[in-house]
Structure 1
Amino acid sequence: VAEVDGKPDIVCADGTPRTNNVETSAASVADGGFGGFALVVSGPVTAEMNDAIIDTLNSIDGISKAESNFVPLDATAGDSDTPPTYIRVNQVTAYSYTAELDTENTIGVTQLALQEIQKIPEVEALLCEGENPDFNTCIKVSEGFQSEIQTQGFQSLGFAMILAIGLVVIILMFTMQSVVYWLAIVLSILVAPVGAAIALASADRVLGISALIGLLMLIGLVIANAVVLIDRVRSNQNERGMELKDALIEAGGRRLRPILMTSMATIIALIPLAVGLSQGAIIAAELGTVVIGGSISSTLLTLIVVPVMYSILSPVHRALSPGRYMGSNKKDEAED
C-alpha cells in the first residue's frame, strides 16, 4: 500500500498502481476491529421507501455509501447475470442495508440510524406495533447481523463486569470474615471510571468494545490495590494492637510504594498501545487509554476512599460481630 496522487492505493513491487485509489473508512481500520454496519428492514418495502432509507443513511454523519439488496422485480427479469438476493428473517421478507462508517463510534451511529429511519414518513406510517404484528402490512426496522454482534458484545461485557464484581464480593466476605468491610474495597471501583472517562474525552476516543475490556481489567487492578491497603490495616489492628486511626495512617504510608509501583508499571506498559503505535490491532488504543486513565484516578482516590470507608464501616462491623469483640475485651481485662 502506498500513496498515489496523494491518496492510499495498492501498488505492485515496481510502483505501478493496481487500482484507482483505495478509499478506507475510519471504522474499517479502527483498532477495535468492530467496524461493520448493517440494518434490516422487514415488511412491504417499496422502491420509493428504499430510496428514502438510503438517502437518510447517507445524510447521517459518519455513514457513507449506503446500499441495499432491494431490486425491483422488473429490473432483473430475464437477466440471469444479476440475480436478486432475497433475505427472509423469521419467514418474513427482509432487506439488508449496509454502509461504510467514517467514525469509530459504531454503536452510537447504528442507534442513530435506527431512529432516523423510523422517522421517515413512509416508514413511520407502517411501523409494526404489538407482539405479533402482521409483516404483510407493517414494517420492522432492526439491527443487522454485524451491528447486532456489536450490541451483544456490549451486553456480554456488561454482564461480565457485574459477575466479576459479584465474585470478588463473595471472596472478600469469606477472606475478611466480615459482611461490611468488602464495601470499602468494592466502592473503590467507582473511582476508576472517573479517570477512564476523562482520558477518553481528552483523547477524543469513544467507549467501544475494547474500552469496556479495559474497564474489566481495571476491576482487578483497583481491587488489588485496595486489598493490599486493607490487609495492612487489619494486620496493624489484630497483630500490633493499633488503634483504628493509627492503623490507617501506618498502612497508608507503608503500602503507598507498592501501590504506586503496581500502577506505574501498568501505565508505562500500556503507553505504546494508548498512543496508537499498534494500529489495526483488535485490542485497541481505547483499552490502553481507559486503563491508564482509570489507574491514575483509582491510585490517587483509593488512598482516600478506602481508608475513609473502612473507618466508617468499622463501627458497623463491631456491631454485627459483638461476640468476637466482647471476648477480646474480657481477655484484655483479665490481663490488666
Structure 2
Amino acid sequence: LVERKADANVVRAVEEIRTVLAELEEEQERITLDVVVDESTFIKAAIGGVTQAVMLGGILAIVVLLVFLKRVRVLMAAAIAVPLSVAVTLVLFEPLDVTFNLISLSGLALGAGMLVDNAIVVIENISRLREQGQGPLEAARNGVSEVAGAITASTLTTIAVFLPITLVEGLAGRLFRDQSLAVVCSLLASLLVALTVVPLIVSREKKSAVRGERESRFGARLLAGYERALSWSLDHRWTVVMFCTLVLMGAGMLITNLPREVIPKTEQGRIDVRITLPTDADLTMVAARASDIESKAKSRGWAERVLADLGERDQARLDLDPRPPYEGDVTLLLPPGQRADKILSDVQSLDLPDDVSIKVQRVETQLEQLLTTSDADILIDLVSEERRDAENVVARVQQLLEVRPELANVRRTDAASVPTYQLGFKRDVMNRFGVTASALTAYLEAGARGSEATTLKTVNEEVPIVIRSRHIDSIERLLAEQIRTRDGLMPIGEFVTATSLPLPAALIRVEQASVIRLTADVAQGYDLGRAISAVNEVTRSVLPMTVRSRVGGAAEVFQQSLFGVGLSLALSLLLVYLILAAQFENLIQPLIILVSVPLAAAGVSFVLGLTGQSINLMSLMGAVVLVGIVVNDAIIKTDFINQRRAAGMPIREAILAAGRDRVRPILMTTITTVLGLLPLALGFGQGAELRAPLAIAIVGGLTSATILTLFIVPVLYSIVARMKTRTDTI
C-alpha cells in the first residue's frame, strides 16, 4: 500500500511509483509487480471528460454563431474570443495558485458557453448599426459604447456570485474555490476581449449586410411571433403575472418532493465489505471468513481481484484509522462494465456463517470521503444522562430500523461489550516468594502490550521500537509466563487472580452526555430525506423521556451545506442588487431584473424532476451560479428600454423596440451557454455523476428564465412605469 503525501499530486506520484516498480522488475527478474488499484486512472479519465466537454461546448457555441450570424469575419471575431479568453484565463491561474483539476476544469467548461456572450452582444449591436447605414469604424465605436455599461454590469453580477464562494470557509469554500476562480478569470478575460479585440476585428469588415441578408425565413417568423406575443403580454399584464405566479407555486410544490443527498454517488468499480466477528475472535478466524467471501464473490463473477486488510492495524495506521482485531475489510475489484449498485444487495445477502456480519458499500471517491464525516450515511445518537437508559432501548431501536426499507446496514458502531479481565494480586503469596507489585506489573504489561526497548529518531518524529512476544494471545498463556522469585522461576498465575469482566467496547460522550451510536446507510432506490424521516419516525415512537435522539453524518453535512449555499445565495443577491442599483441609478429597476432569479429556480426544480436528479451540493451550487447568469439578459433589455425612453419614445413603444432589437442576441447568448454546458449535462465519462447536476441545474434554470423573462420583465417594467409616471422614478 503506497500513499502520497498530503501536498503531492496524485497523477505525478503514481507516474513516479510506476517508474520505480519498472526498475525493480528489471533488477528482480523472477518477481512480477502488479498494480491492483490506481487512483490516478479515475482522475485522468475524469479530467479527460471535462476537457472534451470544454472543447465540444466551444464547438457547439461556434456552430450557433454560424447559424445566426452567417458572416465569416463576424464569426471569426466570436471564434477568436473563446480561445483568447481561455488563454488569458490560464495566465491568471498561476498567480492565483489554481491547478488543473476536476473542479477548475469544470469551471472552464461552465464558462465555455458564457465566454462568447459579451462578444455576441457587441457583435450584434455593431451589425445593427451597420444596417442603419453607419460606417465600420463609427458602428464599432458607437456599438461598443452603447452596450459597454450593460455587459460590464452583467459580467460583474456574475462575478459577484462567484467571488463570495472563494471567500467562504468550510465545505463549500474548499470544494468550489478553484471552480469559482476559473469562472471569474474567464469572464473578466471575455469582457476585456469583447470591449477591445472583437470591435477591432468586426470594424475591418467593409461590406455592410442588410437585415434581410442576415435573417432566415425562420428567424423572421420567430421575431414576428415574439413581437405579437410581447404586444399581447403588454395588453394582458396581470394574466402574465398570474401565470408566472402559478409556475412558481408548482415549482415550490415539486422541489419539496425531490430526493436529497450530499453529493451524487460516483462509480469507482470497487466494493468494500467490512466483516465483523465476535469480540473474542482471533485473526485466523477473521482470515477464514474473508477467504469464504472471496471464493463466493469470484465464483459468481462479481470480482476480478480481491484485496483483504484484516485484523488490528499497525500502530502507525491505528492512530489515523483505528480498527479492532475482530474486524477486517475485503475489497472486491469489479470486472469491466460491472456497476457496484447492481450487486450491492446480492453481496449483502451472501450465505455466511452466523458468527460473521458484513457491511457492504461501494468504495467512495476522495471527494465523497472529504464531504462525509464517517463511513456511514447516517449517524443516530441515543443521548441520555444515564447510559443504562439508552442501553435499555438501543436493541429495540436497532430492530425497528433494520426492518425499514429506506435503511440498510443498520448496526451499532461498537460491540456491546468486549472480554476484559480484572487482575488481583495475591499479596500473601507475593510476600512469601519475594515478588514485588512493581515487578509483577512490569511482567504483565510487557506480556500484554510489549516493552518499549528504544526509539528510532528521524528528522521530525520518534518511532518507538517495541519488543512483543508473539505466542501470548490469551489470558491463559499470559498467566502461564514465568517470573523470577526467590525460589526460581514460577508462573505469573501463582500470584494473580483473573476475573472475567465484560465492559463496553467504547464510551462516547457528546457535550458531557452519554451516547450510544447506531449507523445506517440509505437503501438503494431511496434518498437521504426519506431515510432521515424513517429514522425520526422510529425514534419518536420508541424512545422514553430520558433518552433523546440526534441524527448526524451525511444528514448533518447536508444541513451545513444547505446553510452555506443559502448564505452564499443571500450575499450574491445583495451584491447583484447593489451593482444593478449603481448601474441604473435606481432602486426599483434592479428588483424587476431580479425577478428572473425565482423564475430560474422554477426551471431548476422542473428539470431536476424530469431528469431524476436530486437536490445535492452540486445542483444547489448550480442554482447559486444562476443568480449571476439569468439577470444578464434582463439587464441588457432594461438598459435598452431606458435608452429608448431617454430618446423620447413612449413606454410601450420603447419596450417593443427594445424587445425587437434585443431578442436575437438574448437567444444567441442563451443558446450558446446551454449548448456549451450540454456535454457536461449529458454526463459522459468518469466523474460525470458529479458534473452533471450542476450543468443540468444551470441549463434548466437558464432556459426557463430566458423564456419567461422575455415577457415578465417588460410587463413588470410597464406596470411599475405606469405607477411611477408622475414621480419620474423609472
Number of the residue aligned with 1:97: 518
Shift of 1:150: 1.6
Which residue, out of 277, 286, 291, partners 2:698? 291
1:93 and 1:42 mapped to 2: Cα distance? 6
CA shift in 2, pair 1:308/1:145, >3 Å: same
1:39 aligns with 2:446: no
One-letter code of the match for 2:580? L
SS at structure 2 position matched to 1:312: helix
Number of the residue aligned with 1:251: 658
1:91 and 1:10 mapped to 2: Cα distance? 48
CA deviations 1:178-217 (Å, max 9, x no partner) are 2211221011212112221111111122212211111111
CA deviations 1:59-92 (Å, max 9, x no partner) are 333421111225334x433499998132210011
2:613 and 2:564 mapped to 1: Cα distance? 21
CA deviations 1:6-31 (Å, max 9, x no partner) are 6653527xxxx9749774658957x9
Number of the residue aligned with 1:220: 628
2:406 and 2:610 mapped to 1: Cα distance? 20
One-letter code of the match for 1:310? Y
Which stretch has the larger CA shift, 81-90 or 304-313?
Answer: 81-90
CA shift in 2, pair 1:153/1:304, >3 Å: same
Number of the residue aligned with 1:166: 574
Which residue, out of 69, 72, 75, partners 2:416? 72
CA shift in 2, pair 1:303/1:277, >3 Å: same
CA shift in 2, pair 1:95/1:52, >3 Å: same
Highest CA radius of gyration, 1 or 2? 2
1:181 aligns with 2:578: no
Shift of 1:293: 1.1
Which stretch has the larger CA shift, 304-313 or 63-72?
Answer: 63-72
Given that 2:613 and 2:693 are in contact with CA atoms closer than 8 Å, whether structure 1 keeps it comes out as yes
Number of the residue aligned with 2:638: 230
1:9 aligns with 2:342: no
One-letter code of the match for 1:243? P
1:258-277 equivalent positions in 2, closer than 5 A: 258-277=665-684
Shift of 1:4: 5.5
2:362 and 2:637 mapped to 1: Cα distance? 43
1:170 and 1:20 mapped to 2: Cα distance? 54
Shift of 1:269: 2.4
SS at structure 2 position matched to 1:140: strand
2:540 and 2:623 mapped to 1: Cα distance? 35
**Scaled by the length of structure 2, what TM-score is found?**
0.38
Number of the residue aligned with 1:333: none
Number of the residue aligned with 2:396: 52
Number of the residue aligned with 2:405: 61
One-letter code of the match for 2:650? E
Number of the residue aligned with 1:116: 537
CA deviations 1:266-323 (Å, max 9, x no partner) are 222222332332554684422222111111111110101100011111134444447x
2:644 and 2:521 mapped to 1: Cα distance? 60
Given that 2:406 and 2:534 are in contact with CA atoms closer than 8 Å, whether structure 1 keeps it comes out as no
Q: How many residues align?
A: 305
Given that 2:390 and 2:547 are in contact with CA atoms closer than 8 Å, whether structure 1 keeps it comes out as no
CA shift in 2, pair 1:4/1:192, >3 Å: farther
CA deviations 1:213-248 (Å, max 9, x no partner) are 11111111111111011111111111x322211111
Given that 1:180 and 1:317 are in contact with CA atoms closer than 8 Å, whether structure 2 keeps it comes out as no
1:241 and 1:104 mapped to 2: Cα distance? 61
1:32 and 1:309 mapped to 2: Cα distance? 44
**Scaled by the length of structure 1, what TM-score is found?**
0.78
2:705 and 2:573 mapped to 1: Cα distance? 16
SS at structure 2 position matched to 1:119: helix
CA shift in 2, pair 1:149/1:264, >3 Å: same
One-letter code of the match for 2:419? T
SS at structure 1 position matched to 2:305: coil
One-letter code of the match for 2:305? V
Which stretch has the larger CA shift, 199-208 or 57-66?
Answer: 57-66
